[in-house]
Amino acid sequence: MSRPKNDTFLRALLRQPVDYTPVWLMRQAGRYLPEYCETRKRAGSFLNLCKNPQLACEVTLQPLARFELDAAILFSDILTVPDAMGLGLYFADGEGPKFERPLREEWVIRDLTAPDPNVHLRYVMDAVVEIRRALNNSIPLIGFSGSPWTLACYMVEGGSSSDYRTVKTMLYNRPDLMHHILDVTTTAVTDYLNAQIESGAQAVMIFDSWGGALSHAAYREFSLAYMQRIVAGLKREQDGERVPCIVFTKGGGQWLEAIADIGCDAIGLDWTTDLGEARRRVGDRVALQGNFDPVALFADPEKVAAEACRVVDSYGSGTGHVFNLGHGINQFTPPENVRALVDAVHKHSRRGYSTP
């Protein structure tokens, strides 16, 4: 298998020349699309959708049929890994994800082991294979995982949290236990991402959604250090092609220099960071992905397009920018505004590149 026909996304991540700024959107396959809601209804539940490779493939492709996106991302959930570790993932109506057996007892934590992704997360690998087949090498497929810290937040809290009180109390009171959870989870995530790469993922992204809840000091010790271990343990080449790795810490705009140092190819940025300033700070060490405010997609299409052009311009000219939102797309987003966004990025950015 060679590079996909449209490899703009991969080239931008590797800071190779491109003709325009590639664009994809976090959670591009999701509830804002009526066809997604239809498939999900048919699946019976969100988890069934994740666990059925055919349906996961179907929803992965849906946004590509509507918009000129430059990458597909595996449809799955970041909590499949702790689920495979035996915590019992379920979704309570309107309450978000929960675990039946959150990590609270020391003996349970000491018993934690990393699952074999090709056994316990086989359905994810099957989805990757299925999606690659369906994409037929048109655009690249992104695999992903939650970061160890982000997964640990859910694993210890037992679900979402507004203040991370339980997990942070463990962090401050029992750093040894916290490190044990993170250590096992790091092995699990590394194996999981490598299995995705072996199954066909052409780039991978680590979502550190809750790294920004940590103090400056704790972030380095409890989140970044483990992402560094993952990046070091990743297969960076598959079938003769480089597999780029993106690290995204939401709320991590102050820590870009440190993130760039862990060996990833690109950094995801939320909308609080100016792309131009970020570029000056990290130099040519990494590419940057982001960072349109997802709520700006609620403005009228011409305002959406104008804001998209502002974001493109804030990066400046030259390669190394993958356009994205600064966070997942909101479920109430009008799909026609997504089209306005994608088209504006393509059209506007072509001006910034010298085409032969």
Residues designated catalytic: 27, 31, 40, 77, 154
Full DSSP string of 104-120: -SHHHHHH-----HHHH
Residue 73 phi/psi, 5-degree rounding, is -125, 130
* 251 vs 268, beta carbon nearer a second copy: 251
Kindly write out the interface string for residues 177-216 of this chain, putting x where it contacts a second copy by CB under 8 A and - elsewhere.
Answer: -----------------------------------x-xxx
Task: Decide: is 345 part of the binding site for a second copy (CB under 8 A).
Answer: no
Q: How far is the CB of 156 from a second copy (least distance, A)?
A: 13
| SS3 sequence of 189-213 | HHHHHHHHHHHCCCEEEEEECCHHH
Task: Decide: is 318 part of the binding site for a second copy (CB under 8 A).
Answer: no
Q: How far is the CB of 214 from a second copy (least distance, A)?
A: 7
Among 164, 192, 207, 315, binds a second copy (CB under 8 A): 164
| Cα separation, 266 vs 256, whole angstroms | 10
Task: Decide: is 314 part of the binding site for a second copy (CB under 8 A).
Answer: yes
CA distances in angstroms from 279 to 248, 274, 282, 289, listed in the order given: 15, 9, 5, 11
Closest CA to 157 of 114, 225, 96: 96
| Cα separation, 209 vs 157, whole angstroms | 15
| Cα separation, 186 vs 183, whole angstroms | 5
Among 110, 310, 350, 351, binds a second copy (CB under 8 A): 310
- Residue reference for tokens 């001006």: 351
* 245 vs 341, beta carbon nearer a second copy: 341
* 211 vs 244, beta carbon nearer a second copy: 211
Q: Hey, which residues between 249 and 308 contact a second copy (CB under 8 A)?
A: 251, 253-254, 271-274, 277, 291, 293-296, 298-300, 303, 307
- Residue reference for tokens 């190819």: 265
Binding site for a second copy (CB under 8 A): 163-165, 168-169, 172-173, 212, 214-219, 251, 253-254, 271-274, 277, 291, 293-296, 298-300, 303, 307, 310, 314, 326, 330, 332
